[in-house]
């Protein structure tokens, strides 16, 4: 039996998202992509479905009955992992659960971003509310209260092997729910977990049998980062089409290769979407019209221009597959042991992060390749032998000025880093827990490097857009299409046009912000897929 699902969301539906949900209901119905984004990024409040709380309470009675049994039951009256055969007497079980959380909160390194922590807490709450974990309703209610108070447990970069799920990150969150550990309050101030709860009027949880395990056994960290990444990537892939369109115009390329009938000869879905975007973006361009027809001496454009839909489209299709996997995971109740619908308490391996680890790695490959193609287009603008009449490096006074030469170096350096980040984490495995956990997913690490990769992709695209905007200015009096011209005008609000050399870094960062905020996509028009 699966959870009741909300409408399916594909990667194409995610980017740049629409209206922000003010409140998210958590219950037996699976959380949606939009729910995760709303809570993680926009501080939407969480409410618990009363009917689901009733199911949570009913399941708890099963755990209470097993706790009273003289026979050992894993996670209820035994130790954990390699100590699963050790029976724990009733008077030591509260200590057992607290000790589990304390010992597993062993992360190290920089703090993980606030949005990631909020996403993983929401997703863990979602599993608690399925009624399959055996926690008490009060524990789920406390989790919701912590989210609504905008308390963010301090979670560290290192600690998860992605099996049994994201143990250390989730343990740091559970520790704060217990009134221990460290957290950031709503203002971002670092306080103790106890201080954060007290200030918000939240009573710390004293964990009962099974609850420690239920709070830390899950793929919530890697899943949260996957959903966030899909939201980012959908926006970035549209931005990549915008950047490519600006480059095609400014480099006097052709849009003929993007024709719908040519795309239909190879019916890849993402490719068709990308090509349609390029046709819309370039519609009405006087720059393209200026050299169209028999007088055009260009036989074929370079691959970085001509094959943009094929590469951007393949990335879209990869994201669509990742969204399918993420949607299934949102529809999951991951814990070990789990309380089945018919009341059995069963050990299982559903916490293994392989399904997520694989697609997180796939996306890092796609991100690196899209960035690589973008950097090649940037380089063409700067090379006088290939730019069809533009000055070397788009310099104002050749020889005195260097123009955008070093901006391309920056893009190249980022692309080199993205190629290293494309090396898969999910093929690695380091045994742990005295060989009980002898194969792990490294899904958390795949997610962490994907976040860095997408940041790099946004920066590479921003440099191409900034470069193409200067090239478009240098093609005057010929004018770009309405959509690309609007993006060029937006760039001019943070980066000046052609002229003598100046301090470039702030201008690059300004365009990076326009890309990250969705302003570039918005300027180009709302009808892009």
What are the backbone dihedrals phi and psi of residue 360, each rounded to the nearest 5 degrees, phi first? Answer: -60, -40
Catalytic choice (74, 143, 158, 358):
74
DSSP code, position 13: G
Query: 443-474 vs 505-516: helix axis angle to the nearest 10?
Result: 120
Tokens matching residue 108: 């190290």
**Where does 189-283 show beta strands of DSSP type E?**
190-192
CB 29 within 8 A of CB 53: no
Catalytic-residue membership of 358: no
Is the separation of the CB atoms in 121 and 150 below 8 Å?
no
Residues facing residue 87 across a β-bridge: 78
Count of other CB atoms within 10 angstroms of residue 133: 29
Beta bridge partners of 183: 153, 191
Bin 181: left if φ > 0, else alpha if -120 < ψ < 50, else beta. Answer: left
Q: How far apart are CA 181 and CA 494, in angstroms?
A: 42
Residue whose structure tokens are 């950047």? 243
Contacts 24+ apart (CB under 8 A), 13-18: 13/234, 14/230, 14/231, 14/233, 14/234, 14/323, 15/231, 15/232, 15/233, 15/234, 15/235, 15/236, 15/237, 15/238, 15/518, 15/521, 16/234, 16/235, 16/238, 16/518, 16/521, 16/522, 17/231
Q: Give the Å distances, CA to CA, from 402 to 157, 378, 459, 510.
A: 39, 15, 20, 20
Give the contacts of 178 (CB within 8 A, at least 6 positions apart): 98, 101, 193, 204, 205, 206, 207
Exposed, middle or buried: residue 458 (CB in 10 Å: 0-12, 13-18, 19+)?
buried
DSSP for residue 12? G
Single out the residue of 427, 310, 411 nearest to residue 360, CA to CA.
Answer: 427
Q: Which residues are catalytic?
A: 74
């Amino acid at each position: 039996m699966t959870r009741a699902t909300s409408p399916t969301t594909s990667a194409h539906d995610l980017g740049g998202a629409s209206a922000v949900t003010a409140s998210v209901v958590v219950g037996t119905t699976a959380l949606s992509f939009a729910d995760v984004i709303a809570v993680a990024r926009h501080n939407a409040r969480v409410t618990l479905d009363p009917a689901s709380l009733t199911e949570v309470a009913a399941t708890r009675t099963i755990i209470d009955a097993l706790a009273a049994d003289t026979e050992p039951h894993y996670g209820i009256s035994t130790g954990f992992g390699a100590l699963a055969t050790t029976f724990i007497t009733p008077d030591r079980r509260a200590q057992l659960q607290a000790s589990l959380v304390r010992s597993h909160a062993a992360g190290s390194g920089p703090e993980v971003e606030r949005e990631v922590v909020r996403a993983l807490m929401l997703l863990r709450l979602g599993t608690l509310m399925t009624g399959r974990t055996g926690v008490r309703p009060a524990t789920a209610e406390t989790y919701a209260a912590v989210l609504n108070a905008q308390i963010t447990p301090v979670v560290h970069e290192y600690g998860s092997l992605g099996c049994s799920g994201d143990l250390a990150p989730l343990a740091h969150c559970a520790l704060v729910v217990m009134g221990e550990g460290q957290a950031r309050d709503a203002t971002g101030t670092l306080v103790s977990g106890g201080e954060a709860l007290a200030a918000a009027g939240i009573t710390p949880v004293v964990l009962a049998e099974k609850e420690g395990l239920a709070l830390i056994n899950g793929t919530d960290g890697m899943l949260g980062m996957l959903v966030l990444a899909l939201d980012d990537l959908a926006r970035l892939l549209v931005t990549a089409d915008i950047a490519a369109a600006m480059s095609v115009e400014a480099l006097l390329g052709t849009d003929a290769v993007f024709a719908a009938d040519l795309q239909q000869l190879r019916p890849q879905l993402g490719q068709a979407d990308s090509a349609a975007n390029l046709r819309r973006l370039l519609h009405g361009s006087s720059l393209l019209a200026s050299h169209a027809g028999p007088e055009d001496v260009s036989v074929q454009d370079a691959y970085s221009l001509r094959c943009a839909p094929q590469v951007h489209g393949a990335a879209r299709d990869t994201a669509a597959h990742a969204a399918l996997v993420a949607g299934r995971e949102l529809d999951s109740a991951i814990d070990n042991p789990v309380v089945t619908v018919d009341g059995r308490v069963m050990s299982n391996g559903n916490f293994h992060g392989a399904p997520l680890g694989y697609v997180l790695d796939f996306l890092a490959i796609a991100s690196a390749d899209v960035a690589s193609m973008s950097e090649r287009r940037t380089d063409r603008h700067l090379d006088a032998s290939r730019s069809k009449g533009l000055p070397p490096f788009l310099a104002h006074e050749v020889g005195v000025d260097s123009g955008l030469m070093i901006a391309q170096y920056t893009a190249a350096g980022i692309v080199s880093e993205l190629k290293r980040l494309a090396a898969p984490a999910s093929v690695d495995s380091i045994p742990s827990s005295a060989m009980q956990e002898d194969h792990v997913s490294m899904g958390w690490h795949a997610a962490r490097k994907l976040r860095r990769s997408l940041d790099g992709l946004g920066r590479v695209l921003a440099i191409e857009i900034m470069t193409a905007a200067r090239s478009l200015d240098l093609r005057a009096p010929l004018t770009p299409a309405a959509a690309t011209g609007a993006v060029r005008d937006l760039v001019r609000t943070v980066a000046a046009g052609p002229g003598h050399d100046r301090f470039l870094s702030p201008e690059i960062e300004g365009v990076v912000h326009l890309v990250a905020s969705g302003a570039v996509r918005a300027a180009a028009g709302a009808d892009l897929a």
